[in-house]
Amino acid sequence: MSQFQRESPILAQLCTLLIDDQYGELASRVFSILARHGRQTLAALSRNSYLSGKQLKHGLVILIQQNLLFHSSPGLHHVTYYEINWQQSYALIRYGRMTKMVEDRFGEKASAIISNLVSLGHTRIGDLNEAYFPSNTSDHEEDEEDADTHMNGTAASVAKGNGSTQLLNGTESSKASKTKINASTEKAELQNKDVNSDKVTTDNANVNGDAHTNGKMNGTASVNGEKPAEGNGVTEGQHASKSEVNSLKELHGIIYKLMVEGWIVPVTEAHFLPPHDFHEKVLPEIVAEVFEGRWPSGTKKQTQLKIEVNQRKRYLRDSSIQAANRKRSADLDLEFGRPSKRMRIACTNGDNISTSAQNEYAQNETILDDNLVIRFNLEKLNVAMRTEQLVLLAKKRLGKTTARVYHTLLCALEQSYLRCYEEWPDPPEPEANTHEVDPKYLVTAKEVTRKLDRNIDLTEGLDPHVVINHIGGRFNIVEKDRLTYIDPPADPSELSIDQKCRLVDAHLRLLYQEPFQFVTWYARRGFSQWRVEFDRLCAHMIQQEIENTIMARRDHLGVKLVRALQKKGRLDERGTCVAMMMPAQEIRTVVNEMCLWGFIQTQEIPRVESRMTKHSMHLIWYDKQRARERLLHDTYRGMTRIMQRMAMEKEKVRPVIDKAERSDVVGNEDKYLNQAERDALKKWGEVEEKLLVQLSRQDQLVAILRDFIGPLSI
């Protein structure tokens, strides 16, 4: 995560706003101190702020529970240092997206669990059990307290490992906040999460930031630690059965499935260490084990050290996940190995899914260890967002039918990708055989056909001649008014599986022939076997977004200039004119503006010793990585402005909102609110939605620019 630890002031501001929105002012105050002064101890924190020690600790507890902070206690003195986890902090904006993505893929039950995990931070399985199926329903109070200690035992036990437990003593009541940012990202159901940390002070030196989940999904089922009876299956309307988990087995089945797919990962110690400390921890181990304690000298040994360190880091990070996957191959093949079943869950469409899913989960005999601590895997979310963005791009270029086929193909591949790119890669082997691809990264047209939604008309988006060729028989091509038709129209539901395969194959070939090369042909197995070169595509997407931005800000001339520079390298004015076939005067203004925005760079090379301007060469060039960082930075800034504007707009209608949220008014709006107030509320709703939609789209841009691929060389 080292790349993400390069924070910028604007990102700090954005994250502070986000935390303020979700966890209240105290947490955001503590966060902003850390953002301003960097890694520091509790003592330094209190020196740098006006907060009392008690307040600081409360703030830290919230942040740590949500994994927004790294902490480590290196050295002999066991002083704990705190450091911001930028990646996770920014991800606050994506929480709604997570639940949406999981819901699309695994249904509402899974998304309800994810939503719980998100609001709780990392969670012990035992606590989840308790939250869903309280062991003792009669004894309210005792049970609650039990659950509380368990819930936070996770944080405590981890903290203990770092020797900082005695410092933390949590009582915190953060303001209940609405995480609307996320819920409305996909214009999905609003979901109100109240993270109430009630006051539970205990004498022992444990952390007790009592967190109750009040995850209210879609206004139907509510999982509630305080009211076990409700959590245990009160049905409210028809929907309840869909999003409600009926048994412990089912709960564990869903969690296990999500773990196998990589959406949930077991928490390891490495998750809490700052990247630098992680490195510092691994390095001496490797030196001791591989180099017998002697610091390696010479380039060859240094390289070996680097490789070994990266290998160890990967191992530490992935070992717990791999353990889960091993277990799957051993005894869970029956449940999860069958693609047909996975498929039915993957394409959630209507209610038949819930029954089949229910059966599947019910069959599952997995019972997870109570002490296993799990959390949501942010990197997997990036994979899902990558799928989404690629499909959008394909839709723009090739139309929706082909995009649907592409979506199915990418979803089929998703399971094989835990993350978008490896952060600690091995150096590429010079003579590596790049033609061989691990079969898990391949997918055939046949598989795609099987997983494809049956209601798609595959003949759309293809040249009618191709369609006729593949489905043959009684169809003719009719040309009328310079348009081409199929006569009679083919009924998509009457096509045989074989014909469908052919059509899917034709769509995939279209994707292959694009200059983007959305897919790459690999072999002939199963009609045709394909792989996706994500790295190349993601670099393309970055370029595409940069060009889009330039196009919107200026015109096609700017884009043309950037493309010319990218193709030809550094150019002087003459060279630019020749490449763009335009007079110099017209280009000059474009160059000027693009320099101001930081998309292209200028350079002056003196030809004579005196460095006279007249005798220097003036070159311009385009650096994709720089432009990418610049645009990312600007996007962060745009997001911050939107958040600020939203706060301001909300402040304007604050009295009306307050009134509308009063318990006697809720449900009786018509009675208590006058017309002007209702209008103001409606207007506020529109404004908020517009801002939130834009915020979410900017987040997608951030994902494209930042999360799909590591630093670009050129």
Partner 1 sequence: MASASADSPAPAREESPAPETLDKKDILYNKCAQAPDGTVFYQRDFVNMHVAENTTALMRLLQELVDSHLMKTMMWENQPCWKLRSRDEAAKLRAINADERHIYHLIDEVQNAGIWIRALRQRTGLTQMVLTKCLKSLETKALIQCVMNVKNPSRKMYLLKHLEPSAEIVGGPWQTDGDYDIGLIEVISNVVVRYVEHETWIRVPVGMNNTREAAVAKKKAQVQATRDIEDAPAVQPFRPPLNRNRTTLLPRSNVNLPTCTSILQHVLDIGIIKGKVIRESDMEQLLEMMVLDGRLEKITPSTYRTVRDAKDADDDTEGSWNGFVDAPCGTCPVFELCGDEGDITARTCVYFAEWLGTE
Sole binder of partner 1 in the list 76, 581, 608, 676 (CB under 8 A): 581
- Say whether 214 sits in a helix, a strand or coil: strand
Pick from 236, 331, 463, 498 the residue near partner 1 by CB under 8 A: 463
Quote the DSSP letter at residue 176: P
> Please, which residue, 132 or 599, has the CB nearer to partner 1?
599
**Matching residue, tokens 């989940």:** 213
Q: Side chain identity at 65, as an amino acid letter? A: Q
Which one of 36-44, 89-97, 359-367, 541-549 is the stretch in contact with partner 1 (CB under 8 A)? 541-549
615 counts as binding partner 1 under rule CB under 8 A? no
Nearest to 363 by CA among 253, 494, 199: 253
Nearer to partner 1, 293 or 350 (CB): 350
Count, residues in the chain: 714
Q: Does 465 bind partner 1 (CB under 8 A)?
A: yes
Residue type, 626: R
Residues 182-221 that bind partner 1 (CB under 8 A): none
- Residue 645 touching partner 1 (CB under 8 A): yes
Residue 101: C-alpha distances to residues 87, 105, 250 (Å):
19, 6, 20
Choice from 374, 510, 660, 692 touching partner 1 (CB under 8 A): 510
Q: Is 649 in the site for partner 1 (CB under 8 A)?
A: yes
493 contacts partner 1 (rule: CB under 8 A): yes
Q: Does 681 bind partner 1 (CB under 8 A)?
A: no
User: Kind of pairing, strands 196-198 and 221-224?
Assistant: unpaired
Quick check: 650 binds partner 1 (CB under 8 A)?
no
- Helical ranges in 367-444 per DSSP H: 378-398, 400-414
Which residues have CB under 8 Å from 638's CB, separation 6+?
Answer: 698
What are the residues facing 616 on neighbouring strands?
606
Q: Is residue 344 a contact residue for partner 1 (CB under 8 A)?
A: no
462 touches partner 1 (CB under 8 A): yes
Tell me which DSSP letter residue 196 carries.
E
The reply to whether 36 sits near partner 1 by the rule CB under 8 A is no
Pick from 178, 239, 279, 306 the residue near partner 1 by CB under 8 A. Answer: 239
- Judge whether 95 and 184 are in contact, CB under 8 Å: no
Residue 385: closest CA among 155, 704, 599, 652 = 704
- Binding of partner 1 at residue 641 (CB under 8 A)? yes
Determine, following the binding rule CB under 8 A, whether residue 296 of this chain makes contact with partner 1. no
Q: Which of these ranges, 71-79, 128-136, 222-230, 550-558, lies near partner 1 under the rule CB under 8 A?
A: 550-558
Give the one residue of 559, 571, 591, 692 binding partner 1; rule: CB under 8 A. 559
Question: Interface with partner 1 includes 697 (CB under 8 A)?
Answer: yes
In DSSP terms, 198 is beta-bridged to 210
Residue 631 binds partner 1, judged by CB under 8 A: yes
- Which 390-449 positions form the footprint of partner 1 (CB under 8 A)? 392, 395-400
Question: Looking at beta carbons only, is 493 or 713 nearer to partner 1?
Answer: 493
- 602 lines the binding site for partner 1 (CB under 8 A): no
- The Cα 47–Cα 253 span in angstroms is 48
As a whole number of angstroms, the distance between CA 251 and CA 243 comes to 11
Per CB under 8 A, 298 contacts partner 1? no
**Residue 6 in the binding site for partner 1 (CB under 8 A):** no
Least gap, CB of 712 to partner 1 (angstroms): 18
List the one residue from 567, 607, 615, 682 that touches partner 1 (CB under 8 A). Answer: 567
Q: How far is the CB of 351 from partner 1 (least distance, A)?
A: 5
Euclidean distance between CA atoms 214 and 220, whole angstroms: 12
- Is there binding between residue 525 and partner 1 (CB under 8 A)? no
Sequence letter at residue 116: N
The one-character DSSP state at 217 is: E
Give the Cα separation of 310 and 710 in Å (integer).
15
